[in-house]
Chains A and B, each alone.
Chain A
């Protein structure tokens, strides 16, 4: 079974631009969540989608948004990029919403904002 796939692997943007990141979950997984990881803040939850609906949202500004498609693939968008948005963006999937389900992470997209 293929793992969680994130594209692109690396991305360089300039301030003010917008960016879209893509995540393909493990086949059969319906939940996709997104995380931001920086050296200073560690790993922080952005949002979770389940069956095309946003189910949970972390404490990030509205510039960060996402969506999930009917095939469970998900995209994350960041508008009006700031230097502080430079980070590793991770996507994770799991099959459903049971209490003990573990997350499977992709390798991430390394975003650099110049």
Chain B
């Protein structure tokens, strides 16, 4: 699986969009980009995933660059409950054998 690089931490004002970047410059053609988040004392929660096209669901939007070397997770209207560690991973195939790195600690402030 391709290595991903994320900023260690980010702040966002409540109600504003949170844009979390992820670099995966060595991603191969059959690797998906997945995003999970983990709120303190809970297990990771799936957010969204994509291969080539941009994706949107009820939680977030995923923007993948045309060369697929980076992506951005967008939380359109961040709330205090979105404070968590966000993990970006590039996974081949079923996406089950996950390895998370350090992730981005997002702090949403009032």
Binding site for B on A (CB under 8 A): 4, 31, 33, 35, 37, 42-45, 48, 56, 58, 90, 92, 94, 97-108
Give the CA-CA distance A106 to B44 in the complex, in Å: 8
Binding site for A on B (CB under 8 A): 32, 34, 41-46, 49, 87, 93-103
Chain B's closest residue to A58 (CB) is: B97
A92 cross-chain contacts in B, Cβ below 8 A: 43-44, 96
Q: Is the interface of B mostly helix, strand, loop or mixed?
A: loop
**Docked-complex contact B99 and A98, CB < 8 angstroms:** no
**Docked-complex contact B99 and A43, CB < 8 angstroms:** yes
Chain B's closest residue to A92 (CB) is: B43
Give the CA-CA distance A92 to B93 in the complex, in Å: 17
**Docked-complex contact B96 and A42, CB < 8 angstroms:** no
Chain B's closest residue to A46 (CB) is: B97
B34 cross-chain contacts in A, Cβ below 8 A: 102
CB distance from B96 to the nearest CB of A (A): 6
Give the CA-CA distance A99 to B96 in the complex, in Å: 9
**Docked-complex contact B44 and A43, CB < 8 angstroms:** yes
Other-chain contact of B44, A48, A56, A58, A90 (Cβ < 8 Å)? A90
CB distance from A91 to the nearest CB of B (A): 8
